[in-house]
Each structure stands twice: as structure tokens, then as C-alpha cells.
Structure 1
Amino acid sequence: MAGHAFAADDPPSHGSSELGAAQLRTIAIRTLPLRLPPVAGESIESWLEALASRCGATWGELLAAVGLHGESNRVRVAHFTVSPTGEQLAAISYATGVAAAAITAMTTSSLFETATAGAATAGPFALPRSRFCPKCLEDNGGRWQLWWKLRWAFVCPIHRCLLLDACPRCSGDQRRRPLPKSLIPRPGRCTCRAPNSWGRSLRRCEALLSTAPSLELTENHPAVVAQDYMLAVIAAGLVSAGMYAESPVSSLQFATDITVLGQQIMRYAHADDIRRRVPADIWNIHEDNTVRPKQADQIGALWLAHDCSATMAVAACAALPVLQASDATVGGQRLRWLIGSMRTKGTWAHTTAIAWDREVSTPLREVQLRSVRSFLGPTDQLRNRAWARHPQRPDRNRSILRSVPASLWPWWAVPISGPGVGLAHVRMALSVALLLVGSRIGIPLACAQLGPVTTAREVGRVLGVLSSKDDWETTASMLTSLADVLESGVCPIDYQRRRELVNQELLTSPGWRRVCKEAQTSADDPTRARLCNWWLYERLTGTSVGRSPATSGGTHMWRLFADLPASLSLEEVLALDQFGRTYLDAHGMAHEPLRWQPPADALGVPPDRESTWHGVDIERLHHLIRVNKLSAAMAACALDVPVDIVRQTLNEHPAPHQPHAARGTVLAIARAELPRDRFIELYRHRGQSLWEIAMLAGVSPSVAGRLAREYRIPIRPPRSPRARQ
């Protein structure tokens, strides 16, 4: 081939001077006698083959003429077709007269603007071969489009037909291996070895690929729409709409997302469920290509050695509706069918397999977690933050241990407790649950870190009860938000340090006498001193004493402790708090407040979560406790609220000490509320018990009994439990 030659000191022209002569080999490169501009979107090897055919040169001669001497001996994909070096670009540009930028645009690496050849040839993005549109080959004389090499190339948007994978005559993959260097390229012909060739024979199939039949599709066919969307993403270089609006991703990341999601659908879903979601014409081709006598159970296998364009079209039609969702919530709803399909197929996978690939984008991971959250247990829901605005995989390093009391703050636990589980158990279980949010820690270890207050079995039982309630979503969201707030370092108390330093017998005899002196109460009751010690220990450390070794007094002592808030006066509480403040100051915790709880406004707590706590009439409660002498349980019945709310309200707002009422004051109240005629009506005619009548008047049952004797009404003997039933 004649032409002007240059060496290292002869810089190239034709738009490639920016590369510099220093990048060229010290070897003569001549300009080719014929010039052939590349077709828009053409691959570099297709262009060079067409150039060799126009010049009548063999493939090896053409490569040598453009400075690609070492590439002619390759038996697999040539490096210059993926990511050519600067020296190769300079040589090709000088020999052909085509700008280096235009040459780079014809290489595989330009599809996703990857920096390395390895990334451009990775399985999820590009094939080691090329699909083709027979009509395009017929229109442009056998020139091959670069994007046909993409794994997600399956439909020609111009002719609206399914791309082909193999030669119609020999069934060989196209452009998997370079053309032998001694052959002259014939564009548009099959370059596979002829079926009847042997040994080192160079005979080629040479079937005219433009005559191959292909499935024609309608203009609005889902596969055509999907291919248009994929090509638009590649052209734009990023996706920033729909669920990607808050976290835009590159086209390379989008290719990863659809690859992972498509693989999961094709691998785990039942074939009938996929069939209902994709067009029948491409499904039939996919089914014909994948079903084999010994592989009938692999109908959904996406990444077979010869995955065809129909398979990729099926995967795209099934996966794109999820990726095109308006947000992660909608995307999760659109993907939820896959979980049910997996169960139907009998291939249920754990969340670690569904939240699956580490390489997917954050929006897709959120979609995956939202799709499986209703199928997860409460523990896994918390670990994966399934009810948060942005679900995510557990973090091995996440820990909020020092900010969490062993028994959750009452304000947060009271609205969650209900039938089937008591407040004390709820508080302890929710503290463990807080440690699980977004973390990989196990329940037994979390229980051990918080101290001997609960067990893994008990935590599992409580979470099971709570997750069966209608408001579990609100509870899980609250726990997730609370864990995030605590992780930010807002908690001013180091509960772990308090659990380690605060002595369970912190209220010594001198301390108890000082408390009683300040509250002006008697210090002669050792049982009450012990109860107040437990109360103060729980108040300072946030650790419930229900399972603590300190509460070894049996069931009777525990019942007395449960009723202690009703008997504690405001003066006693202030004195106990002052003693606790002095104790903390003496042990190096002067910078910490006595007590703390997360502010509700910081977490956006729903109003209904506040109503039960703040709905107690505190003034009436104090009147029932101090004037009517009711216990906490009876006051709760009179107020029609759970007894736990009454106890916690009294802890927060203790009733002031009242002077001893004159004898008969409570009886006078009962007499005014229950005249003799009404008492007889309720007791004799309606059959109500003394306890029920006492609740109507806001007095104790003993007062109701005294009133009955005053009215000379015979009292019925108490009924046995069996008789009551």
C-alpha cells in the first residue's frame, strides 16, 4: 500500500496531533491509499474489515498497515477493539485519516466510558461476541453496530426486529474470534469455520447474514420500548428519574442493576409468573432456546453459555417496570410478586440472597428490601431497616450500646404495650431491638450486653406479639428513627457506664435516713427502704429490676414494688432524686443529667402515640390516690386506662403529700355518691359486686363494704372463680 510514511519525529495529522509523536512506534506507518469513513455507531473492527475489503488486503495486512502488528496474531478479542492505547490510536488515526476521538468512540470502552479494558469486557455489560440485525447489514453493506456487543442488546430500534445471535446456516456465534490474518474480510458474511472444514483449513461458512429471518415486532412492543430506554440511558450516561431521582446513577451502574435484577427474576421466579409478565412471542423463542431434555428445570437460567437475545428481552421486560418505578416503595410493590413466585417454585431464598448483590445501587437495594420486608421476621426487618425511608443492609460496625438503657424509656414503650405482653417485658425487649436496628449483632449477645434483665427467647416472644399488631409498621419505624437519633450522639447519658458503676444497693442506711428527713417521713420501715432503693436504681440506670439479682424478695416484694409509685409522695421523689444527683456527682458523672429521654419532636412521633400518655387527668389521678385512697390498679379502672400508664404517670408526676383526712371523709364521699336506694339497686337488683360499685364512686371496696353495713344491706359471700364463670 503506497502512501506517505512517518516515524517518531514525524507527528501525525488528521486531527490526532494532540496525541504527540512520542506515542508512535519508531516504525514507518503509511497513509492508506483509500479512505473509508466509519458508519455512525459502527464498531472499530467492522470499520477496519470494511476498509481491508475495499483495499483488497488481508486482515493481517490491514492491521500491519495501521500499526497493529501484534494484534494480527491474537486468537481472541483484540485489545484495540476494547480500549486501544494512545500509541495505537495515533497510528490508526494517521493511517486512515480519521480523528482519534472518532476511533475511540468505536471501541467497547466508550459504551460506558470505562477506564479499563477489564471493566468494559465484564460479563454483565458486554458479550465476547456480537448480535446483529440482518436488515441493518443489508442496508449498510455488512457494517456492524458497536452496541450490538452489549449483553442488553436484543431489539433493533430502527427495523423493530429481534436481534439474532447466530448464523442461520452454521449456528455459530458471530465475531467471537478475529478473522484469520491471511483472509480478506467479506463484510456481511459469516466468519465462522465451515462445518465441513478440518484441521488448519481456513474455509469459512460465509453465509449471507442479511438473509437470516428475524422476529418482527410492533412499534409499541414492550421489548422495543425496553430497548429504546436502555439505549437512551447509555446515550445520556446516567439515570436521574423515578426511584433514581434522589441518587442518580451512571449508565454503567444502571447496567449492573438491571443485570442483577434480571438474573434474580430469571433464576428464582416460576416460569408461569414470568410468562404472564412478558409478551408471548419473545417468551416462546426464549423457551425454545433454553428448554433441553436434561435441563427442563433451568428454563429461567439467564446466564447460559449461549444466552440469546430473546432471553435478554424477557429479562428486560420483567425487570424494567421495577427500575422505572416512581420511588422505592412503588418499586418494592412491583417486585413483591417475585417473593410469592419463589415460594410457589419452592426456591425460597433468605433475605441475604434477596438483598443480594453488593454491587447494586442504593435505590435498587431499597427496592429489594421493601419487596421482602413483609416476608421477613421482625428481627430481620429491624436489621435491614425495612420500614425506614431508606432501607439498607446491616452494618457490622454499628453500635449504640452506650446510649440505650436496659429498659426502654417509658414514654416510648407505654403506647406499644398491650394485651399479651406487659410493659416491663416490652421495655426490655425494645431496648434489645434498638441494638438490632441496622446491625449484625445477635439477640443473645445484645441481651448479654444490656445485663441480666431479659433473655433471647423472651425478646423473640415480645417482638412476635408486637409484629402481629396492626401498628407494627409504626413501631418498627419509630425504633429505626430512634436508633438513628441515638447514633448521632444526642444522648447525654452513658448508660453502659451507669450499669457498671451504679451499685444496686446504692441507698445505704445513712442515705435512707437523710431522704426520710428531707421528705419528713418515717425511716423505720426497712421494706420501704428496700423498695425505694430499687426504684432509685431503675431511675438512674434505666435497668428494670424485675429480673435483677437485687430483687430477690419474691413475688410479694415485686407486687409491693409495682404499687410503690402510688405511695411515693412528691416530697419523697424530690429527696430521692437529690440523693441520686449526689451519688452521680461523687462517681464522676456530674456532667450528665439525672434522667433523660429522646424528645418526641425530633422523631416526628404520630399524635396517636402521644394521646394515651398525655390523656391522663393528672389532677384527678392525684385525687383518687391521695383523697380516695385508691391503689394504682383501682385508679386505672376509674380512669379507664391501663395500670402501667397510671404507674408511669405517677413516676413522672408524683402526687403531693396530703394531710390525714378526718375520719369518715372517704365514707362521706361514698355516701354522697351512693345513696341507699341506688346502692340497693346496684347491689341487689343488678347484681353488681362491691368492687364494681366502689369503682363507680371512686372509693376502695372496703369503703363500699362499710357503706353496705351502714345501710344494713346483707353482704353476699364472695363467689369462687368457677362460680363467676
Structure 2
Amino acid sequence: MNEQPAGADRRGRSGRAPHRARPLREIPGGFDITEWPISVPTFDGELAESWLSRVAARYQVTPSALLHLANGGPVTLSPANTAQVTTAIANLVRARKPPTLSNEQDDEIRRWAATYGRRTRKRQGASFCPRCLSDPTPYWRAEWSGALSLVCRRHRVLLVETCPTCGKRPFGTHSSWTQRISSMWMCPSRRDEDIRAHRTRRAWCETDLRTVLAPPASPTELDAMLLLHEALDAGAQAPRDVATAMHWTATSGERAHAYLELIDEQVPANRWPDTSARELVSAVGVAAQIITADSLEHVEALAARHGVLDPVGSHTPIWPKEHDIHPRNPLLMSLRLGSLSAHLSLSQQLMYRTASERPRAPVRVEHRAGGRRLTEGTWPARGWVPPVLWDGELADHVVAAGSYGPAALSLALSKVGSSVPLRAIAVDLGLPAWLADRVAAILGGRSRPDQERLARSLEQLFARLEANPPPVNYSKRVAVARDLAMVRAAAVEAAALQLVALDERGEAGATVALWVAYTGSHPRFCPLLVPGQSTPSLPPRVDRTDFLRIGFQLLPHGEREPLAWSPP
């Protein structure tokens, strides 16, 4: 190996020592040279493009050059990298915080779309208020880029959507506005010129946006837009706070989503970017009229006039469906069901609970069958109600004599909040299926006032059961008592413990008595008896109280379950 002279490993061919970068010396006074000297803070709620334009103008470079300097190479601004780029520049110019990338109202619209399965499309660029841009320190608001930002709440005028000279929406592209230093009130777009020199760029628009006239709007339209903005702000900031509509209470989130559902029913959300501001303002006005209506009759008239709250549509579907594609807004369902209450049958009034403080659609549960998603109705009062209603409850609503009236009351009470057919309820309670078809005729007649009065009484009794759920599951007892052999054996053993031997008729009477006490039904509905047969009675030698107590202990029941119960 050839030997090298000392120091040759530190020298190049020229024999000179290579240049070595010296570390920057510390500057006294704590000045940090990693930051840029001029601070450009952000305004509250400022649009990212607005702040980048102001920073570029302050340093007298184009926004494109600013992005290049801050990121060490060419950068094309896009929704995917805006947050990263603006944060890096904010750190360099010592801004208190990065600019606003999205406003609360757009966030609330996205939550609504995700909750109700609606499709949306973002609109590029921003509208503007000429009077706001005329301020001494003008800047573009982030809310101006919102999907439903149609009005300036400060000056109570409609926002201007496009520049009147070039016809473009400001900041509608991610690259053209970054190539020029411009003032906040100057249109940042290029003109679409048909005649220009070959291989030359289009001229800048440079329209003074402060001189543009805002579209006129009536006080009613402006008030409707302000109501929408207030609802969206409340839904975004405190979605669980209490809000009111007519005489019903709802949450702020439900109220905000009710506005959006009504607007979407008139103009689908995926068409909002292509729809004129005037048409959207009209849709907002209809939504505001419905939600702030002072009566259900007014709601019904507005729905019929504007074609909203469609009972068979996807926003407020009234009738239960086999497949529920979209969830339903509780506030809109209350408004629509309340407005349709006068046109619903007794069974439908009970199902939708129109006599309650908050009409609602019956809850449906989802299950899978063979790879398919199926929904089925629920029955809130199942197990709470005996086949024959308790003595003394709602007796003034019974027209038919005998057991059919209390049995019809039990069917009606079981129907409250349930989408299960009345015939299925009757079979579950051990009642004849034909009775389900005659509930309205048996209870209070067929007149509308009688049905509404009955619905209110049933709703009040249902509320009492909700507050104090019965300790007895009557549906389970009816299912158990279908085994008449088991009931008969318990009746015979209970009588034998009293040293009473039962003949055939006495055995039948004891079985019927125990079956009635156990199920809460009536002897007429006992399957042991043949229609038209007289009801056998319990033998006189049998102590009824002790017999029923012993027989109940011999039949299946809960640990602390009483034989009989009545609502408090």
C-alpha cells in the first residue's frame, strides 16, 4: 500500500483543507433567528387562504413563494395538506394559532350527514360580504365558505357568490390565487378571455369587491337565515341543551338536524354547491316556518303547500317499513305526527302516541337473517298488561257489557308505542283474534272526540306503568297457562291440601278459577271451556284465598312475584 504524507487525508487535490461549516453563534438577548422577523397573527374565524394572502403581502412575496420558502420546496396547496402547511407558517411568523380550516356549522352539517346517511359535496371557494371587506382591516371569514353560508349576520345582507366581472368564486382554485400579491378586497381570480396572445396567461381580474352590491333580501328571508345559523351554532356548541318547538322539547342537536332535514328534502345536499343562493334561501325559509309554527294546523298547511314532511318519503316516513334506510329526526316526527293526528285511526294514534307530550314513531330493532338486514317492531308494554284490564281502570270508556270491554282496553293499552299488529297482541294475551278488529267499536264508539279522549286516558295509564313497571309478566303467565294439564294438576293438589276431593265438575271449576287468577284473564277466554258452555264454579268447601295462594305457589313464577297486582 502506498503511504500518504501526513495531513493528506484532510486535503483535496488542490492541497487545501476542505471548507467546514461553522456553527451559528448565539446572539445575546434571546433573539431566535429560526423565526421570521414580522409577526402576522390570525383573526378569529379567518379563512386559511385569507391569512396566507396577508402573510405573503406583508413579506412582499407571492403566496406560492411563501409556501416554497416555508416548506423548503414547491408546494401546491390542497385540502389534504392545508393544515400542515398553515401550521408550519404560523410557527414561523409567530401567529397565536393557525387559521380556521373549517367552521362549526360545516362540522355540524357533516355530523348530520353521517347520522342520517345523507350525501354532501363541498363547494370550493368562498362567498363574500362587500361591506365586511370595506373594513379598515379586512379579512375573509371561514364561515363564508360554508355550504349554507348565504347571509352576513353582521350586516344582514346576502353574501355575494361570485365576482361580477370574471364570474368566478373567489379562492375557487388551489393554485391561481397563489401566484400574485393582492389586497384582501381584490378578486384573486383570472379572467376567462377568449381572445389573447398565444402561449400567454390570462389577465388578472383585479375587481374591487368592495364596490359590489350585495343581493337584496327581505327581512323574512334574513330572519330565517339567522334562525338557521343560530340553530347550527347551538347544535355544534351544546348539542344536548334543551330547545323548544311549539309545545315540545328537543335537544339543540335535534333542532339543528331538523332544519337540515327539511332543507335536504327540498334541495338534496349533494346539489347545494350547484344551487343558487336564492333557491337555498327559499328552502331555509320553509324550514324556519315549519319549525317555528305556532300550531299543528299551520304545520299541516305548510307541509301540503311546499311538499315537505312526506309521510312516505325518506325524511319523515310515517308508516313502518320492512327496511328502515335512514333514521328519523325526533322533532320532525313529532311535528308531522301531531299534524296528522286528526286523520289517524285509534290504533295508529296509540302506535304513534299522538296523545303524549312527544309523538314518535315506534322503535324498530334490527336483526340478521340469512345475510339480510331485517327490522321488526317492538312492543313496549308486553308483559305489563293482563288479558283483561284491572278492575276500575278506564271503566268510563267501556260501551260493551261483560268481559269484552276490559279485554279491548287491554289490547288498546298494549298497542301504545307498538308497531306489532293488534291481532298478534290478542293471540299473545290469549284473547280471540276477532276482538282486535272491534276495539274502536267496543271502546267509546267511533266518533273522533271519543277516540281522542280514550287515547289520552290510555297514554296517562301507560305513563303510570312506565313510572312503576308491574312486577308481573302477564305474557309469560299466559304462555305457561296454555299447558292446561299443569294448571289442572296444581288446582287438584291445592284442593287436596285442604282435604277436599274434587269431582269432574269441581275439578273444572277449580282449574278455571286458578287459570283466571294466574293469567289475569276472564273465564270466558279460558281454553278449557267450550263456547256457549256455562262457567263451572269453585266448590263451596274450598277456601278461595288459600286455594289460590297454594295453587300459585305450585305454578311457575318469580321469587318475589305476587299473584295479583294493580297500578298504583
- TM-score, structure 1 normalization: 0.57
3-state secondary structure, aligned to 2:132: helix
| Mapped pair 1:597 → 2:561 | no
Which residue number in structure 2 is paired with residue 307 of structure 1? Answer: 275
CA contact (8 A) 1:370 1:391 kept: yes
Partner of 1:373: 341
SS of corresponding position for 2:131: helix
1:454 is displaced (CA, Å) by 2.2
CA distance, structure 1, for counterparts of residue 438 and residue 515 of structure 2: 23
In the aligned structure 2, how far is the partner of 1:162 from the partner of 1:423?
A: 69
2:490–2:551 CA contact under 8 A, matched in 1: no
In structure 2, the residue matched to 1:318 is 286
C-alpha offsets along residues 668-695 of structure 1, whole Å, 9 cap, x if unaligned?
A: xxxxxxxxxxxxxxxxxxxxxxxxxxxx
Cα distance between partner residues in 1 of 2:308 and 2:86: 54
Partner in structure 2 of residue 189 of structure 1: 187
Shift of 1:427: 3.4
Change (3 A) 1:586 1:349: closer
Matched residues in 1 for 2:90 and 2:514: separation?
84
Unaligned runs of 5+ in 2: 1-22, 319-324, 366-377
The answer for the alignment partner of 2:258 in structure 1 is: 257
Q: Tell me, in whole angstroms, the C-alpha distance in 1 between the residues paired with 2:313 and 2:112.
A: 31
Q: Equivalent residue for 2:386?
A: 405
Rate the CA distance shift 1:304–1:124 in 2: closer, same or farther, 3 A.
Answer: closer
Query: Which structure 2 residues correspond to residues 602-621 of structure 1 after superposition, within 5 A?
Result: none
Paired residue for 1:144?
A: 140
Partner of 1:650: none
Does 2:342 correspond to 1:354?
Answer: no
Does the CA-based 8 Å contact 2:124-2:145 persist in structure 1? yes
Q: Rate the CA distance shift 1:301–1:591 in 2: closer, same or farther, 3 A.
A: closer
Amino acid at match of 1:541: T
Contact 1:404–1:431, Cα closer than 8 Å, also in 2? yes
1:434-445 to 2 correspondences below 5 Å: 434-445=413-424
- Give the aligned residue type for 1:595: A
Contact 1:175 1:191 in 2 (8 A): yes
Q: Deviation at 1:339?
A: 4.0
> Which residue of structure 2 aligns with residue 273 of structure 1?
none
* Counterparts of 2:453 and 2:334, CA distance in 1: 18
- Which one-letter code corresponds to 1:402 in the other structure? G
Is the CA contact 1:52–1:184 (under 8 Å) kept in the aligned structure 2?
A: no
Sequence identity (%)? 19
1:154 touches 1:309 (CA, 8 Å); kept in 2?
Answer: yes
| Residue 184 (structure 1) shift | 0.9
Give the Å deviation of 1:585.
1.8
* Deviation per residue, 1:580-599 (Å, 9 max, x gap): 22211222448543322222
How big is the shift at 1:99?
Answer: 0.6
| Residues 115 and 339 of structure 1, relative CA distance in 2, 3 Å threshold | closer
Q: What does residue 155 of structure 1 align with?
A: 151
Preserved contact between residue 381 and residue 414 of structure 2 (Cα < 8 Å): yes
Inter-partner Cα distance in structure 1 for 2:72 and 2:361: 48
Q: Encode CA deviations 1:367-426: one digit per residue, 9 max, x unaligned.
A: 4443343344433433333322233332236544333222333433532222xx566444
Aligned partner (choices 43, 48, 57) of residue 47 of structure 2:
43
Q: Distance in 1 between matches of 2:71 and 2:269?
A: 43
Query: Are 2:258 and 2:331, in contact at CA under 8 Å, matched by a contact in 1?
Result: no
CA distance in 2 between partners of 1:494 and 1:117 (Å)? 41
Flag the 1:90–1:133 CA change in 2: closer, same or farther, 3 A. Answer: closer
User: Does the 8 A contact of 2:261 with 2:315 survive in 1?
Assistant: no
Could you tell me which residue of structure 1 aligns to residue 373 of structure 2? none
The one-character-per-residue Cα deviations of 1:445-475 (angstroms, maximum 9, x if unpaired) are 3333223522486267659976744143343
Q: In the TM superposition, what is the alpha-carbon distance from 1:348 to its structure 2 partner?
A: 4.7
Any idea what the Cα deviations from partners look like across 1:635-656, whole Å, max 9, x if unmatched?
xxxxxxxxxxxxxxxxxxxxxx
CA contact 1:223–1:317 (8 Å) conserved in 2: yes
Q: Which moved more, 1:90-99 or 1:236-245?
A: 236-245
| 1:27-55 deviations in Å (ceiling 9; x for gaps) | x9752x65555455431211212332454
Taking a change above 3 Å as real, the CA distance of residues 494 and 195 of structure 1, as seen in their structure-2 partners, is same
Amino acid at match of 1:206: C
- Specify which of 63, 66, 91 is matched with residue 67 of structure 2: 63
Indicate yes or no: 2:180 matched with 1:177: no
Give the TM-score taking structure 2 as reference length. Answer: 0.70
Deviations 1:536-592 (A, max 9, x none): 5334312345455433243xx3xx55xx9xxx99x9699444432221122244854
* Change over 3 Å in CA distance of 1:416–1:306 after alignment to 2: same
CA distance in 2, matches of 1:373, 1:200: 69
Tell me the residue number matched to 2:529.
Answer: 551
* Maintained 8 Å contact 1:179/1:185: no
* Alignment RMSD: 5.0
- Name the CA distance, whole Å, in 2 between partners of 1:68 and 1:234: 40
Name the SS of the counterpart of 1:243 in structure 2. Answer: strand
1:213 aligns with 2:252: no
Within the candidate set 464, 473, 479, 1:500 is matched to 479
Q: 2:244 aligns to what?
A: 243
SS in 2 for 1:445: helix
Letter in 2 for 1:249: S
Distance 1:227 1:364 in 2: 19
Q: Secondary structure at the match of 1:403?
A: coil
C-alpha distance in 1 between matches for 2:58 and 2:285: 41
Which protein, 1 or 2, shows the higher relative CO under an 8 Å CA cutoff with sep ≥ 6? Answer: 2
Does the CA-based 8 Å contact 1:43-1:146 persist in structure 2?
yes
Verify the 8 A CA contact 1:42 1:143 in the aligned structure 2: yes
